[in-house]
Amino acid sequence: MVVNSLVIQLLNGLASASALFLVASGLSIIFGVTRIVNFAHGSFYMLGAYVAFSITRALPVEAFDVLGELGPHVRFWGGIATAALVVGLVGIAIEIAVLRRIYHAPELFQLLATFGIVLIVQDATLAIWGPENLVGPRAPGLRGAVYILDQRFPQYELLLIAIGPAMLGLLWLLFHRTRWGTLVRAATLDREMVAALGVDQRKLFTGVFLLGAALAGLGGALQLPRETLNLQMDLSIIADVFVVTVVGGMGSVVGAYLAALLIAELQALMLLAPPFTIAGIEIAFAKLTLIPSFLVMAAVLIVRPYGLLGRPQAAARVAGAAEPVLRLATPELTRIGLAALAALALLPLAFGDYTVAVATEIAIFVLFTASLHFIMGPGGMASFGHAAYFGLGAYACGLAVKYWAAPMGVGLAFAPVLAGLGGLLFGWFTVRLSGVYLAMLTLAFAQIVWSIVFQSDALTGGDNGIRGVWPDEWARDKAVYYALAVALCIAGTLLLRRIIYAPFGYALRAGRDSPLRAEAIGIDVRRVQWIAFAVSALFAGIAGGLFAYLKGSVFPTYVSIPKSVDALVRVLLGGVQTVSGPIVGAIVFTGLEEQLARATEYWRAVLGVVIILLVLAFPEGLAGFAQRRWERWRGGGE
Amino acid sequence: MTRPSVIERRRFLAGTGAAAAALAAPGLVRAQGAPIKVGEINSYSTAPAFTLPYRNGIALAVEQVNAGGGLIGRPLEFVHRDDAGRPEDAVRHAGELINNERVDLLAGTYLSNIGLAVSDFARQNRRLFVASEPLTDAIVWAQGHRYTYRLRPSTYMQAAMLAEEAARLPAKRWASVSPNYEYGQSAVRWFKALLQARKPDVEFVAEQWPALGRIDAGATVQALAAANPEAIFNVTFGADLTNFVRQGNTRGLFERRSVVSVLTGEPEYLDPLGEETPEGWIVTGYPWDQVNTPEHTRFRDAYRQKFNDHPRLGSVVGYDTVNAIAAAIRRAGAVDNEKLVDAFAGLTFQSPFGGVEFRAIDHQATLGCYVGKLAVRNRRGVMTDWRYADGKNYLPPDAEVRRLRPQG
Amino acid sequence: MSVLLVESLRKSFGGVEAVAEVSFAVEAGEMLALIGPNGAGKTTCFNMVGGQLRPDGGRVHFAGRDITSMPPRAIWRLGVGRTFQITATFGSMTVAENVQMALLSHRGRLWNWWPRATRLYREEAIRLLAQVGMEDQADRACSVLAYGDLKRVELAVALAHDPKLLLMDEPTAGMAPAERIGLMDLTGRIARARGIAVLFTEHDMDVVFAQADRIIVLNRGRLIAEGAPPQVRADRAVQEVYLGSGSTFGGH
């Protein structure tokens, strides 16, 4: 009996692995060639499911009657294939309309653009298909189950189990037996070389996007008989798909299959494990469903920094211009900055409580953004999980209130400590990687923190969070708290700025510019990056603590992926390579969000469009753009 | 699925960062005084399936109130805000509604954590908050306070209704499947406790805790089947539920097993199941098509006429939120915050479901729900053999409530 | 005592022996050229001496100390400067700041969090730049410099911590012929004046025979000749290697 259950559960894992693989392979192929981390890949998956739903419903049954018994099959599978194709075409449209224009922008900007696409697709899906969950039709002839080891097993799941390896085989043939496939493989290894051979890169990229998007669309469409269609499908799969792609090795299709298998099997088998007790703590694997995949990813990346079958990325030789020289602000600019600060200080005198509260929030996000910028800009380490440290800071305050009934001062002191310790711990692993892998490991750590916080009801209050985290009596007044928050945030931001211009910041930048040279003049690059990571986490923690007392409560949403993405968006909007970038980015993005959320029903789509337009118009960020215009106007600079 | 045209103040952006031009909303009644404003916060963008019918219910009730001359001579107006599923945004909106929009009270919220966040804001700022949809027990018990009242039957009440039914079943070996967060955890905890109080020989042999919205349905069904329970208590809902039901049906998990399930009879969750609705499940819900009391028929007809759609449970909750607020304002004879808060204690009003009271002891309304069995008719899921379970019968004894809710 | 002493260095990549049993020594103030055709194992040798690669066997001694398998930064701290075949500089810094970076590291001030780095050791950096003729370009961004100028900056950086040994991998690659002689002449003068030992590889035989005090020749990972320039020039094995590989053996 136990053995039977085990075998069936293994089969369940295989079925889930196929679905994951289809989506992940598309992402992997797109990344391999274009180097784009496509956040919108989950959106392709969701679109695939919805489009297949509409097609299979719209095709009239009678039209297929001429085919006799085959009719329903052709209708269903034709619908699935058409949906995949439609999504592929959507992928092409996006590639041509948006991504093609920014291939020469820094890599992360493309990520930002795909994030804008996620927002637009979400609202478009809501507008077209409505808010209610949709249940798709079952596959004709595969509605029932077969008996395996005396247990009923759905026929459709068996088909899925077969589709995964079949698709893997087809992709292998495509990449090894066709000229186009060979070019794609070559481009994955070295895209400049392929360009030098006279291959039209644009066509290649467009083709790759078609393939990748269609695979995701197919993955979504195949879910029609087993998954309920809902508007959260995109984001709920994207994290898993990132994990699979990274564990397998970005760009490796076989790796993606192995990783999908590994993770899906682990998740399926875990559900069978009975709860057990270690050192008085009950551990129920069935309750920890969110954590294992990220633990696997962290473990794999620590042992194999490029995933199971991945290769170190050939550094792109023409990846845009070199980073610009950071120079100290001119006296004029310093004066403008001081004037802006003075204006901020007077804000509460002129406006009501709400404006002051929003301004407080903006100030907090300025510090949070500056902390992320510190490792992203000078450090060259893009963190996709910076909310972890913001959240740790907030939870430090929440826990201090919950368990010690501590005053605000204690909470605010504890916040950077906990966040900094988190940064030290996670950073130690993180700085051993680079590029996308590093980013994904930060994401994994953030998800681990989120899962722990979200699912440990007893310690953290779970999703209901910790409430009653209000400031001490003296700081209850909105204006007073504003003054406190602004003072701390500005001090923190200026301190980070100071560090960037100090020898430590220079050492950090040296490690980013040329690790080879940095090591050759005695700089321990990893150590510098590690400490920078922890410092950045520490400042993010301060921001998180201030945020907790502003909102009066702490929730898992503070640690969630959207919080991390928002921070990333703020940094990129402002500009990575200017020191004032994070300030501009935080103010613009937070202000925009606040206005949009109140103003329109489809605010996400509007925000997405705005993000894409900003990316297209200002590929160096708003502050970067302003700086260049300023320099041109002043006639200085090179 | 037409979008509701809701009376609300809309702002359109003139451009990024530019000042927004305010457009005044057309009031239905040119009333005498300035409108009484209710600031309403809900997850419109992240949970539209539940919040849009709810907003329709509000719009219907507001229209009816104003058509009847408003309240204490003033029209009623709702100002809606989208919290995007984030408690921190809800708190920001609460501040904005009070400081900028100058609303007289707060209402709304769907997710428990957002309800708790706004409730805590209400306590801090001493403002009345009528929590319409969140289910968590904490909002009236552990975290209860003077300024928050909750309308919808709570997790405890739903679990109690189902435990009563479950105790009548012969099953002794139970398993549970529940989303792994506070709502799911409390529902399972209460159900276990209440069922075992009625039937001490019941044992729970397996627990599955899929993450919300992320159920691995095939594997979960298999893991439950491996424990071979006689009955299953289900707390999953939405997409998780549909996936679970599909895999369970195909794999025969529900054959020769009783299933007791929370909320599944609500049209929001039942409609998507369609012909795959699992027959025989004992559920809480809302058989909108079969409740033919005069007050419900009146509500259903008016709703259909205005929106050309059938009401969901959310529609009733939205409708009752307005009715409760209206009743409180009439009772207080003013919109003074403290007087309104006092008026809510022991307030009675008429719901499409019948008479409802806001209990003074814990600020929980006695709104109930319908308990029945699922069946498939015309390829649609429906409730059969249902009865109305009045909420007042499914709350703990007063002494227990006093222990659960901080007094003073 | 030799400044650098290399004994029986070995390294294989996937079964292919890149460097086999290579031993040599460099004395203070001496310019030792390491030459050989493409793929002879010169850069591999360099990277094992500089710490970028871990040897499979053999020892490297610097000033009497075993530095085998030490990380590059530790080797640098002992007094070994290094330039790379493809220049490695900090593109987001000015020319002066590149040199200042090395000075900051040398003086142990990397972990300073407050002072403005760009103002620290600036004069000293300018003096170093002056030695290589780059002081006029001190405030330009490194990323916009001509390749030859970058090589000079690298030399200034390598000299910043007063090294006892300079490792220069193809110091003149990518430079115009006239510039090459100039740069190596400059290096030679500085090295002799300060008693710095210099180990360099070079393709341009004019440069090699003009500047090197001594030459060692590597072929297929093995040392095939060693000696003063005239001696090496006359070596039959060396001639064979160079003629055989089709390379021009300059200086004839």
The CATH number given to whatever domain includes residue C73 is 3.40.50.300
| Alpha-carbon torsion (B180, B182, B183, B186), positive or negative | positive
**Which of B295, B270, B395 lies closest to B353 in space, CA to CA?**
B295
- The per-residue pLDDT for A251 is 84
- Which domains are present in chain B? 10-154+292-357 (3.40.50.2300), 156-289+369-404 (3.40.50.2300)
Cβ distance A596 to B9 under 8 Å?
Answer: no
What pLDDT band is residue C40 in, cutting at 50, 70 and 90? confident
Condensed to tens digits (0 to 9), the pLDDT of residues A243-255 reads 899 899 888 899 9
Contact (CB<8Å) A503/C117 = yes
Chain B residues with CB inside 8 Å of A467's CB? Answer: 116-117, 119-120, 143
Give residue A628's identity as a one-letter amino acid code.
Answer: R
Say which range, A564-568, A593-597, B244-248, B366-370, has the weakest mean pLDDT. Answer: A593-597
Nearest to B86 among A134, A231, A557 (CB): A557
pLDDT tens sequence across C182-233: 888 889 999 999 999 999 998 888 888 888 999 999 888 888 889 998 888 8
pLDDT above 80: residue A453: yes
CA distances from A571 to A239, A336, A370, A566 (A): 21, 21, 8, 9
Residue C66 CB neighbours (<10 A): 11
Stretch (H or E) spanning A629: helix A622-634
Q: What angle do CA B170, B171, B172 make, to 5 degrees?
A: 120
Condensed to tens digits (0 to 9), the pLDDT of residues A100-136 reads: 888 777 777 788 889 899 999 999 998 999 888 888 8
DSSP A228: -
Helix (H) or strand (E) holding A586: helix A581-599
Element (H, E) at B283: strand B282-285
What's the domain count of chain C?
1
CA angle C131, C136, C137 (to 5 degrees): 100
Under the banding of pLDDT at 50, 70 and 90, the label for residue A634 is low
Tell me, letter by letter, the H, E, C secondary structure of A20-78.
HHHHHHHHHHHHHHHCCCCCCHHHHHHHHHHHHHHHHHHCCCHHHHHHHHHHHHHHHHH
Instruction: State the Cα–Cα distance between residues B117 and B132, nearest whole angstrom.
Output: 14
Which residue carries 């750590």 as its tokens? A445
- pLDDT band of residue B134 (cuts 50, 70, 90) is very high
What is the predicted pLDDT for the residue at A627?
75
User: pLDDT tens-digit profile of B262-280?
Assistant: 999 999 999 999 889 999 9
Both structure tokens of A396: 């430090």
Q: In angstroms, what CA-CA distances link C173 with A432, C148, C209?
A: 32, 8, 16
Domain that holds residue C12: 4-90+163-244
Asked if pLDDT for residue C32 goes beyond 80, the answer is yes
- A598 contacts B96? CB cut-off 8 A: yes
Residue C98 falls inside a structural domain: no
CB contact under 8 A, C73 and A509: no
pLDDT higher than 80, residue A323: no
For residue range A204-261, what is the model confidence (pLDDT) as tens digits? Answer: 889 999 999 999 999 999 999 988 898 888 988 888 898 899 899 888 899 999 999 9
CA Rg value for chain A: 25
Whole-number Å distance between alpha carbons of A521 and A249: 33
Chain A residues in contact with B218 (beta carbon < 8 A): 12, 15-16, 154, 157, 226, 268
Distance CA A256, CA A278 (A): 34
Chain B 246-305, residues with CB within 8 Å of chain A CB atoms: 246-247, 250-252, 268, 271-274, 276
Contact at CB, B12 and A598, closer than 8 angstroms: no
Question: Is the CB of residue A27 less than 8 Å from the CB of residue A215?
Answer: no
Contact A505 C117 (CB under 8 A): yes
Q: Do B13 and A15 touch (CB under 8 A)?
A: no
> Which chain B residues contact residue A458 at CB under 8 A?
none
Task: Considering only residues C129 and A302, tell me which one the structure prediction assigns the higher pLDDT.
Answer: C129
- Contacts (Cβ under 8 Å, ≥6 apart) of B339: B332, B333
Mean local confidence (pLDDT), B355-363: 95
> Could you say which DSSP state residue A477 is in?
S
Residue C40 lies in a domain: yes
Mean pLDDT of chain C: 88
Q: What is the mean predicted confidence (pLDDT) over A159-185?
A: 91
Q: Kindly tell me whether chain C and chain B come into contact, counting contact as 3+ Cβ pairs under 8 Å.
A: no
CB contact (8 A) between residue B223 and residue A352: no
For the segment A45-88, what is each residue's pLDDT rounded down to a tens digit? 999 999 999 998 888 877 777 777 888 888 899 999 999 999 99
Better pLDDT: A60 or B343: B343
φ, ψ of residue B281 in degrees (nearest 5): -65, 140
C105/A523 CB distance under 8 A = yes
Cα–Cα separations (whole angstroms), residue A221 to A22, A26, A136, A138, B217: 11, 14, 10, 12, 17
* pLDDT tops 50 at residue A406: yes
Amino acid letter, C138: A
By mean pLDDT, which of A66-75, B134-143, B190-199 is the weakest? A66-75
Residue A299: phi, psi to the nearest 5? -65, -45
A232 interface with B at CB cutoff 8 Å: yes
Tell me which of C105, C120, C153, C154 to substitute to probe the interface with A (most A C-beta atoms closer than 10 Å): C105
Residue to test with chain B: of A364, A464, A553, A600, most B Cβ within 10 A: A464
Residue B58 has pLDDT above 80, yes or no: yes
Task: Say if C111 falls within a structural domain.
Answer: no
Give the pLDDT score at A53: 95
Per DSSP, what are the bridge partners of residue B350?
A: B355
B121, B97 Cβ separation under 8 angstroms: no
Q: How far apart are CA B79 and CA B100, in angstroms?
A: 11
Among residues A617, A623, A568, A576, the alpha carbon closest in space to that of A112 is found at A568
- B366 and B391 in contact (C-beta within 8 Å)? yes
